Structure 1
């Protein structure tokens, strides 16, 4: 029996909490075989990003083509792309993968607030990558930057999600963790039907939230690779990341935002 195959196209995080490292942990914990095409090497820790070195676009393409031609793929997760050139390469790659679900986490900054993409990469994401992905998972600041809207309410979340669909994204899971309050509301908009599904989970009081966006997107890719619908995958991924945050509460790794407990299900 073959495990579902998921390719992560993202940057490397040297402290192991986000990026490729978080993706592989998430995929392994959910029973998938993770593969990688690394778009950038970062020097970072729980306190911030020290340095970013993008990988050349032809090497990003070569990594992906190497594993796809041999192993194949059931879903793709896209994270930090670092440069517009990498975004163009990844968009072309996704266009060639007919019928393979893909999840885009439009990474703009690390948990520390440090930038991870060149300023022009956001425009390239909209032009080359968004039209090719099955699902996009922006948080509130990312949605505001991409749409130009100010999102301050649940109704505003839906308006922003619809704006993203009008910009070419097939489906949107807009994350509401940046809102104040005891709950973290997310909103799934399915572009083909206009169906809106809302998900809510209690806010977990922990500083160990480094890599939440990467982890959620990878979990979504894992469940889509297993054949779940978008609402089912979103519900399961939401439950998974809530468990990963709960499991990390008592961890003491680093002096800043520590990582999630990706293997909480196995250890419990």
Structure 2
């Protein structure tokens, strides 16, 4: 599967489910001084996550180029890049957790043929302000994951956002590919950096807005922000070992070798 084929497969999958294609935006954010570069596909959509009506409706899909330097020390391994593409889809006050998780799961397992047994997921375990995400857990179980494939973490691992200091945020449920490696310890899991678990994507349930003082208020419009790692899925789709073996890099590498 080529990079272009994967992009088209993803967009068509969500368009078949009522999503409209939203144009990708510049790497330099417009009307957003909270960050220097676009770090996620949801950044241009912040006004619409806060209840402004989007001209394309309540279901969106796109492929957005992003820049991230937070994990720059990892660049050079099999999966991490500073500039990368994010496959994104959104519900702006339409469907919520169960529908989002189900579509993510079906895309990974039915369109990319990733075995269910090779997946692991994480779920928000809650705190004194926001409860444990029972709905996400129940949805994953109904889709066929075992209890052993579900891991629970707190704010450090399973709370997303906001992209800047303020804005929409909420608990998330991340999806991982499990490499055929032994556990590095008794605590080995998706939060571990041993290489056994590779994050494929994240289902973010944006139910809150964070103000400048760190206070959370519930949004009247509950949103879903799903982001999938394009390059990592391209590796899996072609049974490759790293991103540099994909057609995103091979032509350049071959040219440099000459």
Say which one has the larger Rg. 2
Which structure shows the bigger proportion of residues in helix conformation? 1
- Decide which structure has greater strand share: 2
Q: TM-score, normalised by structure 2?
A: 0.30
Q: TM-score, normalized by length of structure 1?
A: 0.30
